[in-house]
Every structure is written in structure tokens, then in C-alpha cells.
Amino acid sequence: MAKKYRELAEQVVENIGGGGNVDQAWHCVTRLRFNLHDKEKVNIDTIKSIDGVLGAQFSGDQFQVIIGNTVSDVFEEVEPLVGGSGGAPEGKGQKQGALSAVMDFISGIFTPILPALAGAGLLKGFLALFVTVGWLKDTGDTYAVLNAIGDSVFYFMPFFLAVSAARKLKTNEYLALAVAGTLMYPTFMNAANGFTDAKSFTLFGADFISIPVLSYASSVVPIILGVILLKYVYNLVKKVIPSVISLMFSSMITLLIVMPLTLWVIGPLGTNLGNGLSDIFLWLFTHAGPVAGALMAGLMPLIIMTGMHYAFVPIAIQNLNLYGNDAVLQPMMFISNLGQAGSAFGVAVRTKNKALRQMAISAGISATIGITEPAMYGVNMKLKKPFVYALGSSAVLGAFAGWYGFKAFALGGLVGVFSLPVFADPSGASAAIIIAIILFVLSLLLPFILVLILGFEDIPEDGTTVKADSEPKQPIATDKQGSIQSPLEGTIVPLKDVSDATFAEEIMGKGIAIEPSVNRIVAPISGTIMVLADSKHAIGIKGDNGEEILIHIGIDTVSLKGENFKAHVATNDRIEAGQVLVEFDRDAIKEAGLEAVTMVIITNTADYLDVLPLNESGPIFEGEQLLTLVK
């Protein structure tokens, strides 16, 4: 098994441009995440086709490879290949957008501490559940000890975030811990808790430097801002201090600058910022609960796909710290994750494809636990309708949860069946856990029923597509039909909607058009290259079974005279299905004022009874069946 993970890791690293192209690498529950120096080196289509990879995508400027449950095993093999965090020469990095940089930073500092958060949060959830059902009293020594274990991670949150933020920012972890230690020092904590009479602290006898008394226990934003300040101050001090005495004095001077500023300005600013964000979401769920719940639960899979759910983790922690509960992240993710599981289980029951059934069962179980990527990418999105059913049912139940005020009382890590205890009210009231169980059942059941009743386009054993809500049609005999694969990934456009009348009126033959989302054309069949225009924008292929196919990249792109096109084959070359034929720059084509829509035409249409597109609209993937030729 280790060999399998090593081979997978090697293929991934090779196709992201090698270890030298990696600035930082880490993983979350299901994905390998990379910050790259040059994203143009990524062979995303090749990565998607690797056995063991569920999908790959750019989220902002972060590249994500979706692995599933075995991601930690794969990452163990990836890490030595990228040299820890990578090491390309200076100046090779690419500038990130502001939003991408923020999202990347947040996910980078919270992902490493998820095991601690999950373990401690789930323990607190079970304690609340045991109190609710009467198995444990919240006044005994056992409860006190177990609660201390579960609460410690959250109480000392600044220490955990100090380490992960320092690693993400590539600054000294122990100085970052010193910042957290100062924030949590008993002098300040005792004053904040009212154990002393101090109301503020004056520094250097300057009345205007008045450090307010605040508790930084369980806080998130202040320590993150403090470590950001530490990074820049420490780097500056090290440049100024002579190297001979740098070891002794750089750290001391850095702390003397960073800590007063943090206690005086940054800490209070971060506290107010965190409290403000929590207040906004509290107001939203209080005054527009059904709308907020429907949007949050219904769109959660799309939020997860982009990795933006990490932006809500600090808010969830802050809400737990301020109000003792979280109504934003975990309740809606709970409903959404189970919705994906319910759809996958529905597919498992409805499909006639044995391989798909096995995949759907496995993915459904994973989603029930809280890992949704196998269900989303491997089953529901692939079949389209089950994904829509999951989104719709989650939105409906999210609206109810927002109206009712469904809350989590601890942070539970993977949000699924094992996180049920975090919805138990620590006060012992039973209503909260009863509602959680009801929502658990309904979140699974509603999309499951929708899939069974409304059906979907099934994938039988032979790979063709038929409706799962009707009897399979009798296939035409194989010697009377042929299939053409899609030569690129994109969105299907009916030929009649193309702006060039030659294609729209089917003068050259029947076919289909595709608005590309990638920059390459692959062979849709095996055969021979009969025509390759000097401008590289048009390829004529003679298939092994007599098919004559024209692939025309863009409209009026002959005017570019081959600029932004690169051919990988020549006339009379033998080709195999899936082989790369031409690469092109669709953005450059559009910048030239031209359309990049690509036509796939059967130029010997007269030799067939009909040429039938498999679909008239929607997304199409490279290698997916595109046209059927009926003789």
C-alpha cells in the first residue's frame, strides 16, 4: 500500500512542476494543498486522470488535489518530494490576489491544528451528551478532569495558533509562542478575570500607552495579528543587528517592540474585530435565520469546493468563546454533509452499474462521517441531478435550522454522525440533541428519496448514459453505430448557436460545439491526421472506422497565423484516442477579439443515418462520449 501512495505522490509532484515549483505544501482532511511558484507548470488534466485522484482544481492561487480518506498517507510521501515546503529560486513566485492570499493563509494556519480541535471538541460534546442522558454529573471530579482535557485546546488557543501561524509565515515558532505566552500571562488574565483590582497598565510611565485589561483565552484574531507583526519586525531587526550579537539581541529587541504594540493596539483591535464578525453573524441568524440557514446549508458544498469554509472557522471559535455556541458553521455543514451522503446512497440503490454502486456506498459512508469529497466529486457531481437534489434538500432543512436556532456547543472536527454529541446542550436540556437527531435523519432521507423518485442519468457497465428513471433503451448493434469522445473540456454549445453560418447551418456536416475551459485538444478517436492547417487552428482526422472529423478551434482564428497555437502532431501521423494534438491560448484568442468556441464536425455526415449529440448543453469532460454516429 505504501508503494501505491508513493507512486501517486510522485505522479502528482511531477505534474505540478516538480518539488522546486512548490512554495508550500500541506493537507486537510481530503485534499493536498499547494502554493506554487508557477501555476502554468501544472498539468491539471493529467493529475485528474491519475488513479487515486478524485479531482484537482485551483482555488484562487492555491492548487488542490482531492484524494479522499487516504490523503494523510499520500502526503507523507509528498512531503519529502517537495523538500518540506519547497524551494524554488527567489523571484519565481506569482503574486496572489488579496482574497486568495487571505483564504490561503486562514486554511494554512487552521488545517494543522484540526486534529487537536476535533479531539477536544468531540470530547466536550460527549460530556454534554452524557450529562443530558444522565450518565454523568457536571459537579463531580470525573467531569472536571475530562472537561479540562477537552477545554484546554480552546482555552489555550493562542498557543496553537501561534505555532501554525509562524510556520505558515515562516518565522520563528518559539518567538511566536512568547507572544502567546505574554497574552495569556497570569498578570493580565487575573486582572481580566477580576482577581486583581488592575483596570489597565501604563507602560514606561507614558499615560497615553495604556494597556487595557482583556482576556485572550480562546481568542483567535489577536494572536494571528501579533504573529504577522512579529514576522516583519523580526526580519527587520535581524537585518540591522550585527550577526555577531544577533542571537542574543535580535529576539529581545523584537519582543520589546512586538509585545507592547500587541498588548496596546493589536490585541484590542483583534478582539474588537473578532467580536464584530461574530456579532454580524449573530444578527444575521437572529433576524433572518431561515434565509441565512438556507443559503449557508444549500451553498456549503460550493463553499467547501473552493476551500472558503476555513474562513468560517475563526468565526465559529469566536462564537463559541463569546456565546457558548455556534449557529453558523457546524449546524449548516452537518446538514449539507449528510445531504451529500443521502444522495450518494440513493445512487447506490438506483444505479444498475455495480462499480458505481460500490463507489456510491463507500462515498456515502465517508460523507456520513463528514468527508464529502468522494460523494461530491466521485458520484453526485458526476451524475449532476443527485448533486442538485442534495443542495435543494439541504437548503430547505437549513432554513428550518436557521429559524429554530439549531446550534453546536463545541467544535467537533469532522461534521457528521460522530459529531452529534457537539449539538447536546451542556445545561442538560434534551431538546437540542433531539432536534439534531431529527435533522440527521431528514438530511439523509430527503435527498435519498428525491434520487429514488426523480432519478438521474445512469452510467451502465458499458459507459453509455441512460435515464435511471426509465427502462434502458435497447442499444443499437455495435456494427451500426460509433462513438466520438470529447476532444476537450468545456461547456457544450448547440451548433445552431455558433456565430459562423458555415457551422451553424451544418454546411460542413453535423456535430457539436464546445466553449473550452482548457487550453488543449486531444484526439477524440484513434486514426490518422489527414489535415493540419498551417495556422494550427484546424485538424482533420480519419478514424479507423471511416469517421472523418474536423476540429476547428475558434472562429476566424486563421487570422492569427498560428500565433498562440502549438501543434504536437503533423499530417499523416498515426494518433490514438486521448493523445494531445494541439495546445492553444484561449485567453489570448479572446483578447484578440475572437471567439474560442471549438467545433467538432463529422464532415462525412452523408455516410451515416444520423449524427446525434449525447447532450445539447451542460459541461463536458475530455474523453467523455460526445457524439453517436448511426449507420
Give the residue among 44, 35, 47 at the shortest CA–CA distance from 92.
Answer: 35
What is the distance between the alpha carbons of residues 166 and 269, in angstroms, rounded to a whole number? Answer: 20
Q: Is 484 helix (H, G, I), strand (E, B) or coil?
A: strand
Give the residue among 114, 224, 206, 121 at the shortest CA–CA distance from 167.
Answer: 224
Task: Give the gyration radius of the chain's Cα atoms.
Answer: 29
Q: Which DSSP category does 621 fall into?
A: -
Give the residue among 391, 390, 392 at the shortest CA–CA distance from 344.
Answer: 390
Give the residue among 626, 614, 481, 462 at the shortest CA–CA distance from 546.
Answer: 481
Q: What are phi and psi of 321, to 5 degrees?
A: -70, -45
Q: What are phi and psi of 307, to 5 degrees?
A: 80, 5
Marked catalytic residue, from 28, 118, 163, 408:
28
* Cell, residue 590: 479572446
E strand map for 16-85: 22-27, 31-36, 55-59, 62-66
Give the residue among 388, 392, 401 at the shortest CA–CA distance from 439.
Answer: 401
Contacts of 368 (CB under 8 A, 6+ apart): 337, 338, 341, 416, 417, 444
Q: Is 519 helix (H, G, I), strand (E, B) or coil?
A: coil
E strand map for 143-290: 200-203, 206-212
* Cell, residue 58: 485551483
| 28 part of the active site | yes
**Which residues belong to the active site?**
28
